[in-house]
Amino acid sequence: MRLAEVDTPALILDLDAFETNLKRLADAVPGRVRVRAHAKTHKCPDIGRRQVAAGAVGVCCQKVSEAEAMVEGGIEDVLVSNEIVGAAKLERLAALARRARLGVCVDNAENVRALDAAMQRAGARIDTYVELDLGARRCGVAPGEPALALARAVAAAPGLRFAGLQAYHGRAQHMRSMEERQSVIVRASEFVLQTKNLLKKANLPCPIVTGAGSGTFMFEVERGAWDEIQPGSYIFMDADYARNEWAPPLPRFEHALFVLATVMSRPDAALAVVDAGLKASSIDSGMPTVWQRPGLAYTRASDEHGCIEIGSPAAAPALGEKLLLVPGHCDPTVNLYDWYVCVRGGVVEALWPITARGALS
Amino acid sequence: MRLAEVDTPALILDLDAFETNLKRLADAVPGRVRVRAHAKTHKCPDIGRRQVAAGAVGVCCQKVSEAEAMVEGGIEDVLVSNEIVGAAKLERLAALARRARLGVCVDNAENVRALDAAMQRAGARIDTYVELDLGARRCGVAPGEPALALARAVAAAPGLRFAGLQAYHGRAQHMRSMEERQSVIVRASEFVLQTKNLLKKANLPCPIVTGAGSGTFMFEVERGAWDEIQPGSYIFMDADYARNEWAPPLPRFEHALFVLATVMSRPDAALAVVDAGLKASSIDSGMPTVWQRPGLAYTRASDEHGCIEIGSPAAAPALGEKLLLVPGHCDPTVNLYDWYVCVRGGVVEALWPITARGALS
């Protein structure tokens, strides 16, 4: 089937661009730093296995249910880069830790005790990372003494292996200028180094510092304080990331993820309405852009409609014409679909299931 | 199972509030106006059947795939309140029109020809409504002569039954004051009446004018120009609708839809992080609110995290505590889940599948 024959809306993965992105990341990151690709972005073991084949040590997930899908799909080393709270989830995490190399993050002593108890009950052990709050004010403990205290609690827990530090600055990823992002990561690296020094003085070896995302990872690499990076969006390169300034040391990534949409109404000369609204492309980080169609601007989304302003008569799409949209934000857009329609040179080559779509728990 | 035992995030339907909302709508709408509830909101035949039992003539959908799910789920009268463009979708629509009473909207003569051809090929006929643009500038033809011309084309097409006018003003629904909404609907009613008069003069009977949403439907009822209303969100009442001014003639609706979330981190005295971010509750129309917990404000959402600011120490939730969130926008939030966890008096009574979740085409 050709791309033009695919019914809409559909989530399209351009395999050439995707493979280019895999290679550019692998080429950019020096051998001393491990890549642990973030599977929250794609939720698809077919993609996770290709990331491992391209050199990743494994993947990260944000949810136990995502980790279950990845282990079931053949990924043997999974870090849940998040805190897991509640008896039901801890029990599932412990069961999974018996089947694969598994990691998790903590930022609270009470949670360390519950995690340890769940692992001991299951006869499992889990790599446990102390998450630092690097200034984004979400999860994490303060660097320095609070992190050291929690690391001691982890190291003393028979069901846990103290594996190091989770050090991710989410808000830095979408700061627009290279300079802003670099300066936030430089400051973050000081928190990391300070905490590593404290751990060393306390005779607590810190095997791995893990963190970083697609918008900053080369800054973390350059600072030398990280052993592992967690980029996710680099494989797809969404419209919001494209609004960032991109320059060396970050490699360029290609748009590989699209929503194919059909023009379903042409109410006037300046407006085309497509069948892909906010249930087809998440608008939390801005509207999608129209791919390789200068003069067309997607300006409004309702649940099932997208309004595209037509800048000049020459740019006007016909009723029934199909357009490729670059989603504003890849992660929540992927979470709306059951499969990727994988295309190469305009021809459908495969369907990859989004196994962990809706895996929220 | 009790509500407190349900793992999170989960989509919760409070059955008492839902049934109250069904009844309040039925009580408010006079018998001369038909209710055709919008199933794009709930995507669930279990709910659609209950709406029919409460007096609705059937449901509306926005997509052929939603209509397929509704017909399959036992709803015998379905209006696709949207334009359907493209050979593959028209073929499915025609097949469905042989199985149930089906309607569709048109705003383009070329689409009327394609729709007619598809119906004739399938040996089917379909109720066809000419959609008016009432000023929201999305789909629809201009009221008056353009609408009359398209109605003539429909009436002349052997595969189509001219069923009337689709007259829905989407943007009016969320205007905050009663006065603003009423004044937009008064203006819209003039367009409808003008077009009906033209149709009458042209000897084209206009059986039904259909339209209206949860934020305005009593204004349409009062104007007398509508025969059928299409409210969807009234069954759930989301946080964005609750920001509207509500007063008679609109009945009050209760919040019936919630996202149950767990506090997964308490990084400082003023912050709680829950496990429900923008993949668990759509933020296109604003953040969720925290149900019956004064002093807690959900202020930031990332993919898998929600940040809740704690206004006073007395309001602080504990680590592991579960909170009910009222989603900002019900429709795209429902589309993230596979089932409703239906609760009455704090006890789980049923699971209703969201059959048309992800039904985009």
pLDDT digits (tens, 9 = 90+) for B106-160: 999 999 999 999 999 999 999 999 999 999 999 999 999 999 999 999 999 999 9
Q: How far is A195 from chain B (nearest CA, A)?
A: 17
CB contact under 8 A, B138 and A62: no
Nearest CA in chain B to A8: B361
CB contact under 8 A, B336 and A338: no
Give me the mean pLDDT over the B190-201 stretch. Answer: 98
Q: How far is A2 from chain B (nearest CA, A)?
A: 14
Q: What is the pLDDT of residue A261?
A: 98
Nearest CA in chain A to B171: A302
Tell me how many helices (H) and strands (E) chain B has: 10, 17
CB contact under 8 A, A336 and B360: yes
Nearest CA in chain A to B339: A358
Q: What is the pLDDT of residues B156-168, one digit of tens each?
A: 999 999 999 999 9
CB A308 within 8 A of CB A297: yes
Give me the mean pLDDT over the B351-356 stretch. Answer: 98
- Kindly report the pTM of this predicted structure: 0.97
CB contact under 8 A, B267 and A141: yes
CB contact under 8 A, B107 and A284: no
| CA pair distance B29, A92, nearest whole angstrom | 49
**Chain A interface test: which of B60, B138, B259, B263 (most A C-beta within 10 Å):** B138
Local confidence band at B247 (pLDDT 50, 70, 90 cut-offs)? very high
CB contact under 8 A, A265 and B108: yes
Which residues, 6+ apart, have CB-to-CB distance to A179 below 8 Å?
A: none
Nearest CA in chain B to A303: B332
Residues of chain A in contact with residue B330, where contact means CB-CB under 8 angstroms, are none
Give me the mean pLDDT over the B241-257 stretch. Answer: 97
Residues of chain B in contact with residue A273, where contact means CB-CB under 8 angstroms, are 138-139
Q: Give which of A265, A207, A318, A193 is closest to B85, Cα–Cα.
A: A265
B347-354: which pairs have CB atoms within 8 A and are 24 or more residues apart?
B347/B1, B347/B2, B347/B3, B348/B1, B348/B2, B348/B3, B348/B6, B349/B15, B350/B46, B352/B13, B352/B44, B352/B46, B352/B47, B353/B44, B353/B46, B354/B11, B354/B42, B354/B43, B354/B44
Residues of chain A in contact with residue B84, where contact means CB-CB under 8 angstroms, are 264
| CA pair distance B189, B175, nearest whole angstrom | 17
Q: What is the pLDDT of residue A350?
A: 98
CB B100 within 8 A of CB B140: no
Residues of chain A in contact with residue B271, where contact means CB-CB under 8 angstroms, are 137
Q: How far is A31 from chain B (nearest CA, A)?
A: 30
Residues of chain B in contact with residue A137, where contact means CB-CB under 8 angstroms, are 267-268, 271, 307
In the three-class reduction of DSSP (H, G, I as helix; E, B as strand; rest coil), residue B5 is classed as helix
Q: What is the pLDDT of residue A196?
A: 98
ipTM, interface predicted TM-score of the complex: 0.96
CB contact under 8 A, B331 and A9: no
CB contact under 8 A, B319 and A85: yes
| CA pair distance A143, A135, nearest whole angstrom | 10
CB contact under 8 A, B265 and A108: yes
Of A137, A331, A338, which is closest to B358 when you measure between CB atoms? A338
Residues of chain A in contact with residue B83, where contact means CB-CB under 8 angstroms, are 264-265
CB contact under 8 A, A279 and B108: no
CB contact under 8 A, B338 and A358: yes
- Tens of pLDDT along chain A (361 residues) come to 999 999 999 999 999 999 999 999 999 999 999 999 999 999 999 999 999 999 999 999 999 999 999 999 999 999 999 999 999 999 999 999 999 999 999 999 999 999 999 999 999 999 999 999 999 999 999 999 999 999 999 999 999 999 999 999 999 999 999 999 999 999 999 999 999 999 999 999 999 999 999 999 999 999 999 999 999 999 999 999 999 999 999 999 999 999 999 999 999 999 999 999 999 999 999 999 999 999 999 999 999 999 999 999 999 999 999 999 999 999 999 999 999 999 999 999 999 999 999 999 9
Residue B226 vs residues A31, A339, B188, B207: alpha-carbon distances, Å: 69, 41, 11, 10
Residues of chain A in contact with residue B276, where contact means CB-CB under 8 angstroms, are 360
CB contact under 8 A, B320 and A85: yes
Of A10, A108, A304, which is closest to B319 when you measure between CB atoms? A108
Label residues A242-279 b or e (16+ Cβ within 10 Å = b). eebeeeeebbebbbbbbbbbbbbbbbeeebbbbbbbbb
Q: How far is A40 from chain B (nearest CA, A)?
A: 9
Positive or negative, the Cα torsion across B231, B236, B242, B247? positive
Residues of chain B in contact with residue A143, where contact means CB-CB under 8 angstroms, are none
Q: What is the pLDDT of residue B21?
A: 98
CB B169 within 8 A of CB B185: yes
The 10 Å Cβ neighbour count of residue B13 is 26
Of A63, A264, A337, which is closest to B83 when you measure between CB atoms? A264
Q: Could you list the beta-strand ranges (E) of B145-205.
A: 160-166
User: A113: number of CA atoms within 13 Å, CB side?
Assistant: 3
Positive or negative, the Cα torsion across A325, A328, A329, A332? negative
3-state helix, strand, coil in chain A (%, to 5): 35, 25, 40
Nearest CA in chain A to B319: A85
Which residues, 6+ apart, have CB-to-CB distance to B248 below 8 Å?
A: none
